[in-house]
Amino acid sequence: MVFFEDHGVEEKESFEKFTLINDGFPLHFHRAYELIIVNEGELFVRVDQKEYLLQKNDVAFIFPNQLHEFKTIHHSHISVVIFSPELIGHFFMNYKGFVPENNVIHLHNTPILQTLHSIYQQKSFLYDICGKLVENTSLTPVEYSTKMKVFHKILLYVDQHYSYDCTLKTVAKHLQYDYAYLSKLFVHITNRTFTEYLTHYRISQACYQLKNSQQPIGEIALNCGYNNLRSFHRNFKKVTNISPKKYRELA
């Protein structure tokens, strides 16, 4: 899902919203804030080392640079809002360098994001969410260890190189770290191997392209780092349980 990459880097007021059905996305982070709103169904969300099960009208409020991922439990209809810190400048300056103890809040009603046309409506909505967060949980200073900084660099490398030959050996060489150290670090933080993560990341990107472009499946496979179409089909079905062609038909 290319809309996650580098979002909020431009340091200007930006507000993007979109809807996802029965979707998910592997571990990632960005400078922007993110809201994940469950309209129907259930969604597993992981933020840093904390795990949440969201249901209807629950909202996960992700702060800048927090590692997070989400996946559908049986069925989900969600809205995602990604917005720059500048859009809620007062809140951002007050809580810069802090993260919530609990990233999830519950709303009484599902917000109608389609009505938020003007920047004033958007800010009003966002500040209301900020107010609910502060009322319902405490915010604590974040401390980024050397290990987490290295892990962030690994994810950034995947963001930039997943279309090419991307292995943990190439990452280790690029970052000038020992391969065995990075391998243990990755499994420790994610409970999965680098190869498993890369596969899920590439297939997630392929899903987005299948939904939002008319490119041939073979071209999408190449875009996502697969020179072998058979390997692409095998991994796609392993992750999504259906073929790329069927996924496009259902999208």
Same domain for 133 and 153: no
Number of domain units in the chain: 2
Cα–Cα distances (Å) from 72 to 45, 130, 249, in that order, read 9, 25, 19
Q: Are residues 102 and 153 in the same domain?
A: no
Q: Are residues 94 and 133 in the same domain?
A: yes
CATH number of the CATH domain containing 90? 2.60.120.810
pTM metric for this prediction: 0.83
Q: Which of 82, 113, 141 is the last residue of a domain?
A: 141
135 and 158 share a domain? no
Same domain, yes or no, for 75 and 131?
yes
What residues make up the domain containing 237? 146-250
Q: What is the pLDDT of residue 199?
A: 96
Residues 133 and 96 in one domain: yes
SS3 110: coil
Please indicate, yes or no, whether residues 240 and 183 belong to a single structural domain of this protein: yes
Final residue of a domain: which of 141, 165, 185?
141
Say if residue 109 is in the same domain as residue 222. Answer: no
Say how many C-beta atoms besides its own lie within 10 A of residue 84's C-beta.
Answer: 22
Residue pair 61/33 in contact by the 8 Å Cβ criterion:
yes
Residue 150: the pLDDT is: 94
Position 13 scores a pLDDT of: 77
**pLDDT the model gives residue 251:** 75
Radius of gyration, CA atoms only, the chain: 18
CATH of the domain at 192: 1.10.10.60
Domain shared by 12 and 90, yes or no: yes
Give the residue from 141, 176, 192 where a domain finishes: 141
41 Cβ contact list (under 8 Å, min separation 6)? 55, 56, 72, 73, 74, 75, 76, 77, 78
pLDDT at 3: 42
SS (H, E, C) 153-207: HHHHHHHHHCCCCCCHHHHHHHHCCCHHHHHHHHHHHHCCCHHHHHHHHHHHHHH
Give the number of other Cβ atoms within 10 Å of residue 178's Cβ: 11
Output the pLDDT for position 29. Answer: 87
* 113 lies in the same domain as 162: no
**Calpha distance 155→113 (Å, rounded):** 30
Residues 135, 151, single domain; the answer is no
pLDDT tens per residue, the chain (251 residues)?
Answer: 434 444 444 456 789 998 998 989 998 888 899 999 999 999 999 999 899 999 999 999 999 989 999 999 999 999 999 999 999 999 999 999 899 999 999 999 888 898 999 999 999 999 999 999 999 999 999 877 888 889 999 999 999 999 999 999 999 999 999 999 999 999 998 889 999 999 999 999 999 899 889 999 999 999 999 999 999 999 999 999 899 999 999 87
Q: Same domain, yes or no, for 128 and 153?
A: no
